Amino acid sequence: MLQETLEFFGLRRLPTQVGIFDSEQLKSTTASLQTAINQGVGLIALLGPSGVGKTRLLDKLWQDSLAAEGPYLVVRSMAPDKGQLSLSIILSEMTKAFGLRDRKKISERFSEIENFLLNSKKRVLLIIDEAHRLKPQILDQVRSLTDHEIEEHGETRKLLTIVLAAQAKLRWMLKSGFFESTSWRIMEIWLDPLDRQTDNYINWVLKQSGADRQILSQEAQSEIKRITTTPGEIKALLWDTLQIAYSQGEDIVSAESVRTAAKFDPNNLLAKINKQGFTVQDVALLADCKKNIAEKVLRGIHQGNAESKERITASAQQLLALSASPLKSQGIEP
């Protein structure tokens, strides 16, 4: 069905396979991130919902660093399960990337890495994706890697910059007093959804996929805009919609096909909190209730106590409020 759908709509590849859209949001966030790195900021949180493009932005930073003339030396934590990531694993990844001897004692690894950083002629970055999945004690230990700093041209800068790519749950963790040290600062830089460029993005994805004619009705495009917020969501929904439209024999995709593909339920809070990295357990903890009750309320199927439902809904909304980005990334301008 895959090939038949592509041929039916005259596409050369899947919408999910297109590259990076150079949106205004991406340009602004990239500039803010580069400025923070060049200023020697120690700890940066690159925040945004699932599918907004954080990993793609960091992929580009990673690829740029591989060039001999690249301005950065980038180490990327490749551990698949960030919930099991330890300081020992991170130090091993760093020593391997720097070509250093991986010593057994953590104190010796620290010393090796510190000496390397002192002598490095490039700015050194450590990138950790899905950082909202890190255990709080590990996140606190990771922060300690940024303690070392030097004087350079009359200004103080960190020897190492750590970029934590995360969903909004990281913000909640930082505000919740989980850490041994609460005095350290983290700079928040947000990658926001497409907002007013959504129409341009949808048209761009279809063109990049090979479309040379109109295949979406205006109603279908409006429905996609209503349901989705991030590039990842748009691409996934576009492809699912095209497959349904093909099975229905629609030469021009209808809004009904979009709704069928999305199975959109405005009462389902669970999908919204998951997109920001939160879990049912997080809501249950905040609402002081049982996990199974919280899940039913979040799914919009709870028929029980109204007061309990209101408290759980309010807790979910409180967490979602943390996903609203500030007007500027703490004073850093592109």
Statement: the pTM of the whole predicted model exceeds 0.85: no
The burial class, CB within 10 Å (0-12 / 13-18 / 19+), for 142 is buried
Instruction: State yes or no: pLDDT of 325 exceeds 80.
Output: no
Quick check: is 129 in a domain?
Answer: yes
Instruction: State yes or no: pLDDT of 234 exceeds 80.
Output: yes
Tokens of 329: 């990334």
What is the H or E stretch that residue 200 is in? helix 198-209
Quick check: is 15 in a domain?
Answer: no
The residue out of 165, 190, 215 marking a domain boundary is 190
From the list 249, 282, 253, the residue with the least C-alpha distance to 132 is 282
The residue out of 190, 209, 241 marking a domain boundary is 190
Tokens of 154: 């009359």
The CA angle 186-136-173, to the nearest 5 degrees, is 55
Same domain, 94 and 208: no
Same domain, 47 and 185: yes
- Please give the tally of structural domains in the chain: 3
Quick check: is 217 in a domain?
Answer: yes
Q: Tens of pLDDT along 137-148?
A: 888 788 888 877
What angle, rounded to 10 degrees, do the helices at 231-247 and 198-209 form?
60
pLDDT of residue 313: 93
Quick check: is 93 in a domain?
Answer: yes
CATH no. for residue 37?
3.40.50.300
CATH no. for residue 258?
1.10.8
Tokens of 124: 């050194």
Same domain, 33 and 119: yes
**What's the domain range around 312?**
269-321
Same domain, 217 and 310: no
Instruction: State yes or no: pLDDT of 184 exceeds 70.
Output: no
Compute the mean pLDDT over every residue in the chain, rounded to the nearest whole number. Answer: 84
